Structure 1
Amino acid sequence: MLLTKAQSTVARLRAATASDHDAVDAGFGRYDLTDAADYRAFLVAHARALPAVEAWLRDIPGLPAFRDRGNLLADDLAALGEPMPKPMRFATAPSTAAGWGAMYVVEGSRLGGIMLSRSVPKGMPSAYLGAKHLPGEWRDLLAAIDAQAADEAWVEQAVVGAKAAFALYRSAPAV
């Protein structure tokens, strides 16, 4: 997709990663969250990716604080009798711009999680998928991304970070 300087940074990030987002959605869409075994496998795959990205994000200076969800994921897995798997390695070169891009993916997954949580049957643990944004939190993150002094190199690095996060999620089920 053609990116223009007239677009907001968030719009450029969204456009540059749309196919990555679609690929992750397609990969995880094969899980039937009403089935206990599929739901467990879905959570295990997320547990391979999310903690790796969250740990990486904590080491990037200049990012806003964010609320980890790895502990909620561990609690849900424990309730299903499943230990946390070893996280995959998030091997993207750290930069503030890449951090903003990866944070866009991780925090964006909260929105999808809320939608998916509606499919999880009552009685199944769903703290991870149900961990919604606080009021205004998502809009504030998008506004903060758009407020960055984002030249072409910055946007390029933010896209690299976002694509790397999507790639990690996309590969997590295959491990």
Structure 2
Amino acid sequence: MENHQRVDDLFSNFSFDSPAEYRAFLKAHARALMPLEQLAMPDSPRLPQLMEDLASLGETLPEPLETTAHAGEGFRWGALYALEGSRLGGAMLERRVPAGLPRAYLNSVHGQGSWIAFQQALDEAADGGGQDWIDNAIQGAQAAFALFAAGAAAERVSSHG
């Protein structure tokens, strides 16, 4: 998915070599995570862990990005797909975090079998929802990726002037 690659590219520009860069990375995620978790209602939200990491670095939550409210269940599942998938990326990124920096957010990975269970639940919901549901789910995932991209762009601007 093109939007996913764009988000990966934007976040790959954040270096974890300094606390300031890592703070910017976490704040970029926070800007998107706040509205997305409110919209998607994940079973295991990660905002508390993100707040914990930011507090450990002397930061508070930044202003959240605005998202268009969408009542469709397919849209919610699409956003949830992007959120849950970002846990997989977080597990990979956690390895780059230097010793001494907090990792609660990136360590918020899926329990054994839970990613597969999520995918099965998503498939079942899609099977019962029809083409409109699937179209809305794609829109939800794209909206989630766009929020993460906007968060990354906002923090690149604020941390680099």
Q: TM-score, normalised to structure 1's length? A: 0.84
Distance 2:124 2:38 in 1: 24
Which residue is equivalent to 2:77? 100
Aligned to 1:84, the other structure's residue is in SS state: coil
The residue aligned with 1:134 is: 111
Tell me if 1:88 matches 2:73. no
Aligned to 1:43: 26
Query: Structure 2: any 5+ residue segments left out of the alignment?
Result: 155-161
Amino acid at match of 2:17: T
Q: TM-score when scaled to structure 2?
A: 0.91
Q: Distance in 2 between matches of 1:122 and 1:132?
A: 19
Match of 2:8 in 1: 25
Structure 1 segment 113-132 matched on structure 2, within 5 A: 113-132=90-109
Q: Which residue of 1 aligns with 2:152?
A: 173
Q: Is the partner of 2:89 in helix, strand or coil?
A: helix
Q: Percent sequence identity over matched residues?
A: 41
Equivalent residue letter for 2:145: F
Residue type of the partner of 1:154?
W
> In the alignment, what sits opposite 2:50?
73
Q: Which structure has the highest helix share of the two?
A: 2
C-alpha RMSD of matched pairs (Å): 1.1
**1:161 corresponds to 2:144:** no
User: Structure 1 stretches of 5 or more lacking a match?
Assistant: 1-17, 59-64
Equivalent AA in structure 1 for residue 47 of structure 2: G
> 1:150 is paired with a residue of what secondary structure?
helix
Residues 92 and 161 in structure 1, CA contact (< 8 A), matched pair in contact too: no
**Aligned partners of 2:31, 2:72: CA distance in 1, in Å?**
22
Return the alpha-carbon distance in structure 2 between the equivalents of residues 131 and 48 of structure 1.
18
